[in-house]
Amino acid sequence: MASTYRRRFGDRKEGRLLRSLPAFNKFIPFIMPQRNDRYVHYEEAMEISAVDRRLRALRVEGYKGIGLLHFFIACHIRAISMLPGINRFVVGRRIYARDNIEIIMTVKRELSIDATETTIKVVFEPTDTIFDVYRKLNEKIEEIKTSDDNNGTEDFAETVSHFPRFLLRAAIGLLRVMDYFGWIPQSLLDVSPFHGSMIITDLGSLRLGPVYHHIYNFGTLPVFIAFGPKRHAYELDRNGNMLDRKYVDAKAVVDEGIVDGHYYAQYFQAFQYMFQHPEILEAPPSKVVEDIF
- pLDDT per residue as tens digits for the range 18-38: 999 999 999 999 999 999 999
Residue 228 lies in a domain: yes
Is there a domain that residue 54 lies in?
Answer: yes
- Region 190-199: mean pLDDT is 94
The per-residue pLDDT for 153 is 67
In angstroms, rounded to a whole number, what is the distance separating the alpha carbons of residues 268 and 40?
13
Q: Is residue 218 part of a domain?
A: yes
In a domain, 287, yes or no: no
pLDDT in tens, 41-70: 999 999 999 999 999 999 999 999 999 999
- The per-residue pLDDT for 58 is 97
- Beta strands of the chain (E only): which ranges? 15-17, 39-47, 88-91, 94-98, 101-108, 117-124, 198-202, 223-236, 242-255
β-pairing, 94-98 with 88-91? antiparallel
pLDDT in tens, 259-280: 999 999 999 999 999 999 999 9
Q: Quick check: is 289 in a domain?
A: no
Q: By the 8 A CB rule, do 99 and 76 touch?
A: no
Residue 175 CB neighbours (<10 A):
18
Q: Specify the number of domains making up the chain.
A: 1
Q: Does residue 135 fall inside a structural domain?
A: yes
Report phi then psi at 287, rounded to 5. -150, 140
Comparing 163 with 144, the larger pLDDT belongs to 163
List the domain range (segments joined by +) for residue 192.
34-280
CA dihedral 53, 55, 58, 59 (to 10 degrees): -110
Sign of CA dihedral 122, 127, 133, 134: negative
Determine contact, residues 92/181, Cβ cutoff 8 Å: yes
- Helix, strand, coil content of the chain in percent (nearest 5): 40, 25, 35
For a pLDDT cut of 70, what percent of the chain falls above it?
94
Nearest to 76 by CA among 101, 40, 95, 52: 101
Q: Tell whether 249 is covered by a domain.
A: yes
pLDDT over 60 at 100, yes or no: yes
How does DSSP classify residue 109? S
- Cα-based distances in Å from 138 to 112, 120, 131, 279: 20, 11, 11, 20
CATH of residue 175's domain is: 3.30.559.10
Domain membership flag for residue 146: yes
